[in-house]
């Protein structure tokens, strides 16, 4: 990459992600990222004031692009009942998390660390996911498939009640025997609660 091109935030995040994957969050420095971009570290700092801010921005981009954007498609797809879409939504979230935990360990570890440290981006991400569930729940209530209720409250309860299956603190358990059966049991209990 040459320093003749105007430096965009996207270019900085691409370089940061590449370096973070290679060295891990602890060993990555802004100087390393600047080197990849062939710019001074001051130039990077003009866009992101700290390494923490860069790490947050990379995690946030990953959360949106890899986790919430694919789920939005399920919300907007009009096929199937609300229950079917809700099940597909939860299963897709679980699958994404499990796949990244197994195949993209660096990004997953960074995301898991951010859920501990950086409350803001994770809260925004969670609220965004809850709004997606709420949209499905609302469709279900309007279609009289689900019992009446406040979609946002029900959606938040569904998200929290399935934490065991998508919160990164439980990642090790996702690979355990009986995990699928456990998810089915929780899903059926929740479904009985909303239909």
Of 124 and 185, CB closest to its own copies: 185
Q: What's the CA gap between 69 and 40, in Å, rounded? A: 33
Cβ 79 to its own copies shortest distance, Å:
26
Of 139 and 162, CB closest to its own copies: 162
Cβ 185 to its own copies shortest distance, Å:
4
Of 7 and 161, CB closest to its own copies: 161
Cβ 20 to its own copies shortest distance, Å:
24
Q: What's the CA gap between 97 and 73, in Å, rounded? A: 17
Cβ 109 to its own copies shortest distance, Å:
15
Cβ 91 to its own copies shortest distance, Å:
16
CB count in 10 Å sphere of residue 172: 9
Of 76 and 172, CB closest to its own copies: 172
Do 97 and 166 touch, CB atoms closer than 8 A? yes
Q: What's the CA gap between 4 and 189, in Å, rounded? A: 59
8-state DSSP, 162: T
- DSSP assignment of 135-157: HHHHHHHHTTSS-SS-HHHHHHH
Of 48 and 146, CB closest to its own copies: 146
Task: Give whole-number Cα distances, 143 to 30, 137, 139, 159, in Å.
Answer: 52, 10, 6, 21
Binding site for its own copies (CB under 8 A): 116, 147, 153-154, 156-158, 160-164, 167, 169-170, 172, 182, 185-186, 188-194
Q: Could you tell me which of 65, 43, 53 has the C-alpha nearest to residue 117?
A: 53
């Amino acid at each position: 990459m040459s320093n003749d091109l105007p430096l965009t935030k996207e270019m900085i995040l691409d370089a940061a992600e590449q370096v973070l994957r290679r060295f891990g969050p602890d060993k990555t420095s802004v100087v390393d990222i600047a080197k990849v971009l062939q710019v001074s570290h001051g130039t990077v700092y003009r866009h992101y004031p700290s390494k923490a801010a860069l790490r947050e921005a990379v995690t946030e981009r990953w959360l949106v692009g890899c986790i919430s954007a694919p789920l939005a498609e399920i919300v907007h797809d009009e096929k199937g009942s609300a229950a079917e879409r809700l099940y597909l939504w939860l299963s897709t979230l679980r699958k994404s998390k499990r796949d990244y935990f197994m195949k993209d360990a660096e990004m997953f570890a960074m995301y898991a660390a951010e859920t501990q440290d950086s409350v803001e981006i994770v809260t925004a991400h969670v609220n965004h996911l809850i709004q997606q569930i709420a949209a499905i729940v609302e469709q279900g209530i309007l279609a009289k498939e689900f019992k009446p209720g406040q979609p946002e409250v029900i959606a938040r309860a569904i998200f929290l009640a399935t934490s065991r299956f998508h919160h990164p603190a439980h990642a090790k358990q996702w690979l355990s025997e009986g995990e699928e059966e456990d998810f089915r049991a929780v899903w059926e209990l929740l479904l009985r609660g909303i239909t």
